[in-house]
Structure 1
Amino acid sequence: MCHGGWCFDQLAEQLRRHHHRVLPLTLTGIAERGHLRHLLVNLDTHIQDLTAVLEAENIRDAVLVGHSYGGMVITGAADRAPDRVDSLVYVDAMVPGHGDSCFDLVSDRERQWYLDVVDTGDAVRPLPFFDPRSTPHPLASLLQPLKLTTDLAHIRRRTYVYAAGWETPSPFTTVYQRLRGETGWATHAVDGGHNLMRDAPDALLRILLDLADPELLRDNTSSNIR
């Protein structure tokens, strides 16, 4: 929320050094694309942002990495472009099912934040500690339920990376604890705050590199990284 693809710059550069192709995405109506917020921007818009890149770049076997709200987007994209997506990585993120909205899946603390809208009433204000480049986030994208047409059984690998260093209770603890016991998920707890790209970039890089290397991958794994 509120951030552009530039929040992945450090991670993207490190992955490219290991010869991976990386395409950080800024969603419509946010950051350098904030001038488009006057359009009707919702969750469907953001899913289309991602599927359009997959199609335009002719990408197959993509590993989609979604942080926080981005979990909504990568789930929807995997449903709509099943022939282009291999794996999903949720970085301290929502893991929605059919009919879930972002608003449904967070705690009361986050809902109070979502309702602190700008004067026009259509976007959520960035929190004070966010990157200074952050901009208001389209409110409709947080309220729109996700529509899924499949059970995502075609996704070969699913990974959840939990930030264990929140200063306040994490809204993602419940989903992390649930996924630890589910078949088909690899889970990792990383000692860092919600923005793991900034707080624990090396740990997150190791997880992604292991995922990309079939010889290092272990299904149904769980780890704690300090």
Structure 2
Amino acid sequence: MTTFVLVPGAWHGGWWYEPLAAELEKRGHQAESVTLAGLWPDDDLTRRPVNLTAHVDQLDTLVEDLTAGGGLVVLVGHSYGGQVINEVADRNPARVSALVHLDTDILEDGESCWDVTTEENRKYFLESVGADGLGLAPMPFFDERARPHPFATLLQKTRLTGAWKSVPVKRYAAALETPGGLQAPVAMDRVRNDPDWHYVEWPTTHNVLRDGPERVLGLLSDL
């Protein structure tokens, strides 16, 4: 049995992974679908502001609990979730057997999502931040369960020692049919020819689960 920890991208909760988690559990694995702080239906960012550190601390606590008996976890991140899983792996890479990035940003120490994202995304962030300046409104085509995403998480600089790179298995799936500039070209350039990464390109949009979990299951099947 493998323990998979599934971290969604911005605006989304653990519900995004439901089809994948169900299939993993059918195969005898444990699948923990994470909803990050500020993205639960009743969360109010005006009462509890959330930054990147809050998300990293939350996931770090979960991984600590899951590995308390000596087991390891596979961390899976989609989009924004990629920087969260890398920071958690950086804190203690010995707990992590693999990092799987689904069309994510791959940040270096001192970078933020804002630094590496596309101009189209930056424009949307500024247009959607709303009157309180705290939460970015979901994009209009998102699932109705999507929630305002804490803007601070996309602005705060990541802090990495580089220890996360010692995780033995690192995989990246690049979605090549994403309209509107949502794709992560910086990350693709960083890992495409890196021998430490297994890099694949998929004929899908950034929402890699839109057509079902099969492609992602294939990427996870031997972990």
Question: TM-score scaled by structure 2?
Answer: 0.88
8 Å Cα contact 1:31-1:134 kept in structure 2: no
**Aligned counterpart, 1:202:** 214
Cα drift, residue 200 of structure 1: 4.8
Aligned pair count?
Answer: 211
Partners of 2:176 and 2:212 lie apart in 1 by: 11
**Aligned counterpart, 2:4:** none
The residue type equivalent to 2:90 in the other structure is D
Partners of 1:4 and 1:169 lie apart in 2 by: 22
Partners of 1:39 and 1:63 lie apart in 2 by: 29
**Aligned counterpart, 2:93:** 82
8 Å Cα contact 1:160-1:187 kept in structure 2: yes
- 1:133-148 correspondence runs (5 A): 133-148=145-160
Cα drift, residue 33 of structure 1: 5.7
8 Å Cα contact 2:175-2:183 kept in structure 1: no
Structure 1 residue 192 corresponds to structure 2 residue 204: yes
Which runs of 5 or more residues in structure 2 are unaligned? Answer: 1-9
SS at match of 1:83: helix
8 Å Cα contact 1:28-1:41 kept in structure 2: yes
Cα drift, residue 118 of structure 1: 2.1
The residue type equivalent to 1:24 in the other structure is S
Structure 1 residue 106 corresponds to structure 2 residue 106: no
Partners of 2:186 and 2:156 lie apart in 1 by: 22
The residue type equivalent to 2:168 in the other structure is R
Partners of 1:148 and 1:174 lie apart in 2 by: 18
Partners of 2:38 and 2:117 lie apart in 1 by: 22
The residue type equivalent to 1:70 in the other structure is G
**Aligned counterpart, 2:61:** 52
Instruction: Name which of 72, 80, 84 aligns with 1:69.
Output: 80
8 Å Cα contact 1:92-1:162 kept in structure 2: yes
Instruction: Name which of 28, 35, 41 aligns with 2:37.
Output: 28
SS at match of 1:160: strand
Identity %: 35
String of CA shifts for 1:97-133, please: whole Å, max 9, x gaps: 1001011110110011111212211111100001101
Between 36-45 and 60-69, report the one with greater CA deviation. 36-45
Partners of 1:147 and 1:32 lie apart in 2 by: 29
Instruction: Name which of 44, 48, 54 aligns with 1:39.
Output: 48
8 Å Cα contact 2:134-2:152 kept in structure 1: yes
Instruction: Name which of 130, 139, 145 aligns with 1:118.
Output: 130
8 Å Cα contact 2:91-2:164 kept in structure 1: no
The residue type equivalent to 2:58 in the other structure is D
Partners of 2:172 and 2:114 lie apart in 1 by: 20
**Aligned counterpart, 1:156:** 168
The residue type equivalent to 1:198 in the other structure is R
Partners of 1:33 and 1:54 lie apart in 2 by: 24
Partners of 2:111 and 2:95 lie apart in 1 by: 23
Question: TM-score scaled by structure 1?
Answer: 0.87
